[in-house]
């Protein structure tokens, strides 16, 4: 996350990450990745803004893929969070541990050389990334399937394809992206309350559309959106808001169960 290349900076660095991951596979177990890429740290201003967008603070557990010298994780720890950083370069991991020691946060952080795709994402509250777009896209299904709704994701330099970010900014000339992992609501739901109906929803990331069957009358579901587990949509001009918890949704005066 904290590395920035002098020449073709983010792309070459992320390609080195990808090459290192391939080298870590069983097929290439005996090969060592090239680690002679020159880098300079990403400005602290970018780190601070990413952590602010994700609202990192006490009680949070953050993972950082492409952690470089650990500045993102160390800064998060100074805000009261716990952190875990992954990088392919042993020298960067050494520097990250040294930076954590200087900051007095070694009890709150951990740094490892590891395969990104083998990491457990389910316990994280925040995930930070500085990777190539194709690696982001390869990670995206795991992010959506295994991270809990409401997990905050921040990425430096690269997006995640057609998953629209909640926020996209330029900080010190660098692109910064922010997403919130949405709950899963696609499928059929039975709604009880003042308005009884059956919903059939089609979800695309944090947005959804669908149909509501109200006493045999089909009505469009519009303005469907999720902010983590928080859901809102409109049916026949009425706005519904609630919170998703697995196979149920609890709203004000209504509830729904997965059919």
- Model confidence pLDDT, tens digit, residues 24-81: 333 333 333 444 334 547 789 999 999 999 999 999 999 999 899 999 999 999 999 9
Residue 98 has pLDDT above 90, yes or no: yes
- Tokens 């050389």 correspond to what residue? 113
- Kindly tell me if the per-residue pLDDT of 241 is higher than 80: yes
pLDDT at 42: 76
Residues with Cβ within 8 Å of residue 98, at least 6 apart in sequence? none
Range of the domain at 250: 187-258
Q: 230 and 141 in one domain?
A: no
CATH of the domain at 160: 3.40.50.150
How far apart are alpha carbons 246 and 36 in whole angstroms?
47
| pLDDT value at 193 more than 90 | yes
Q: Which of 33-42, 127-136, 213-222, 245-254 has the lowest mean pLDDT?
A: 33-42
Three-state secondary structure call for residue 38: coil
Domain identity same for 45 and 159? yes
pLDDT of residue 141: 98
The model's pLDDT over 220-230, given as tens digits with 9 standing for 90+, comes to: 999 999 999 99
Binned at pLDDT 50, 70 and 90, residue 134 comes out as very high
What's the pLDDT score for residue 31? 39
User: 9 and 123 share a domain?
Assistant: yes
Residues 81-85: what's their mean pLDDT?
Answer: 98
pLDDT band of 21, cuts 50, 70, 90: very low
Of 96, 79, 88, the residue nearest 41 (C-alpha): 96
Provide CB contacts within 8 A for 52, sequence distance 6+.
Answer: none
Kindly tell me if the per-residue pLDDT of 231 is higher than 80.
Answer: yes
Contact assessment for residue 50 and residue 156, using Cβ atoms and an 8 Å cutoff: yes
- The set of residues, in sequence order, having a beta carbon less than 8 Å from that of 198 and lying 6+ positions away, is 188, 189, 190, 191, 212, 213, 259
Based on the fold, state whether residues 196 and 147 are members of the same structural domain: no
Residue-level pLDDT at 237: 92
**What is the pLDDT, as a whole number, of residue 27?**
34
Token readout for 170 is 């330029």
Same-domain check for residues 193 and 160: no
Q: What is the mean pLDDT of residues 206-224?
A: 97
Q: Do 173 and 193 reside in the same domain of the chain?
A: no
DSSP 115-165: -GGGS--TT-SEEEE---HHHHHHHHHHHHHHSPTT-EEEEES---TTS--
- Distance of CA 89 to CAs 18, 64, 181, Å? 12, 14, 29
Kindly tell me if the per-residue pLDDT of 106 is higher than 60. yes
Residue 121 pLDDT level (bands cut at 50, 70, 90): very high
Residues 130 and 109 in one domain: yes
pLDDT at residue 12 in the model: 37
Query: Of 124, 153, 180, which residue sits at a domain end?
Result: 180
If one counts the domains in the chain, the total is: 2
> Mean per-residue pLDDT for 97-116?
97
Where among 129, 146, 180 does a domain terminate? Answer: 180
Per DSSP, the residues of 202-222 read: EEETTEEEEEEEETTEEEEEE
Do 149 and 206 lie in a common domain?
Answer: no
Residues 114 and 205 in one domain: no
Tell whether 219 and 167 lie within a shared domain.
Answer: no
Same domain, 161 and 193: no
Average per-residue pLDDT for the chain: 88
Last residue of a domain, one of 180, 197, 229: 180
End-to-end CA distance of the chain: 42
Same domain, 45 and 143: yes
């Amino acid at each position: 996350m904290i590395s920035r290349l002098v020449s073709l900076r983010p792309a070459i660095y992320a390609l080195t990450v990808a090459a290192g991951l391939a080298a870590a596979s069983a097929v290439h177990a005996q090969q060592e990745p090239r680690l002679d890429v020159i880098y300079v740290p990403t400005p602290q201003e970018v780190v601070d803004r990413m952590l602010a967008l994700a609202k990192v603070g006490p009680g949070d557990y953050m993972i950082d893929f492409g952690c470089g010298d650990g500045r993102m994780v160390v800064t998060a720890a100074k805000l009261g969070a716990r952190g875990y950083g992954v990088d392919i370069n042993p020298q960067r991991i050494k520097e990250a541990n040294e930076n954590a020691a200087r900051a007095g946060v070694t009890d709150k952080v951990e740094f490892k050389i590891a395969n990104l795709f083998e990491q457990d994402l389910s316990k994280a509250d925040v995930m930070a990334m500085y990777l190539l777009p194709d690696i982001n896209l390869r990670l995206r299904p795991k992010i959506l399937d295994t991270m809990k709704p409401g997990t905050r994701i921040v990425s430096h330099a690269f997006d995640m394809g057609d998953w629209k970010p909640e926020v996209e900014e330029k900080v010190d000339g660098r692109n910064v992206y922010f997403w919130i992992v949405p709950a899963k609501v696609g499928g059929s739901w039975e709604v009880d309350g003042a308005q009884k109906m059956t919903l059939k929803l089609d979800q695309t990331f944090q947005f959804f559309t669908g149909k509501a069957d109200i006493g045999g009358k089909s009505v469009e579901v519009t303005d469907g959106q999720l902010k983590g587990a928080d859901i809102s949509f409109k049916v026949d001009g009425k706005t519904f808001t609630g919170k998703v918890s697995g196979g149920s949704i609890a709203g004000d005066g209504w509830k729904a169960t997965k059919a």
